[in-house]
Amino acid sequence: MFTIRSGFSGFSVDSSAKAREFYGETLGLDVTKHGYGTRIHLPGGATVFFYPKGAGHKPANYTVLNLVVDDIDEAADELKAKGIRFDTGTYTDEKGIQRGIKAGMGPDQAWFKDPAGNIISVLKEPDESIV
């Protein structure tokens, strides 16, 4: 049987330079070039890898990265001030936040896209005492 040393997930982008600027400067995450792509170093030690696919890139139609925050309203306000537009829908409020905690239906969560069109979310997890 083989031994797994570690793991990480990854996704494609159409421009590594734009993605590094977005994840590093706009979102404030630690990004480092790694081989033919870039690693995003997340708080808590996890990493995510993105790689250029150029003209062949197709944005994911699902959430590729969830960023857990302590205060979703503060996160939404700060991201909007940086030009982020949240996806709005039937279940989101005027800020673009789906309020799941109060309804007992999961986290409070808001979705937006990176420059390559991949879906990212910020979310506030429910207090474990109410799960």
The answer to whether 62 touches 105, Cβ cutoff 8 Å, is no
Show pLDDT as tens, one digit a residue, over the chain (131 residues): 898 888 889 999 999 999 999 999 999 999 999 999 999 999 999 999 999 997 889 999 999 999 999 999 999 999 999 999 998 877 899 999 999 998 888 999 999 999 999 999 999 998 764 44
The answer to whether 6 touches 19, Cβ cutoff 8 Å, is no
Alpha carbon distances (Å) from 81 to 33, 86, 105, 120: 27, 12, 28, 17
Q: For residue range 33-70, what is the model confidence (pLDDT) as tens digits?
A: 999 999 999 999 999 999 999 788 999 999 999 999 99
Rounded distance between C-alpha atoms, residue 72 and residue 53, angstroms: 32
Q: What is the pTM of this model?
A: 0.89
Which residue ranges make up each domain of the chain? 9-130
CATH superfamily label, 9-130:
2,3-Dihydroxybiphenyl 1,2-Dioxygenase, domain 1 (3.10.180.10)
Nearest to 48 by CA among 107, 6, 109: 6
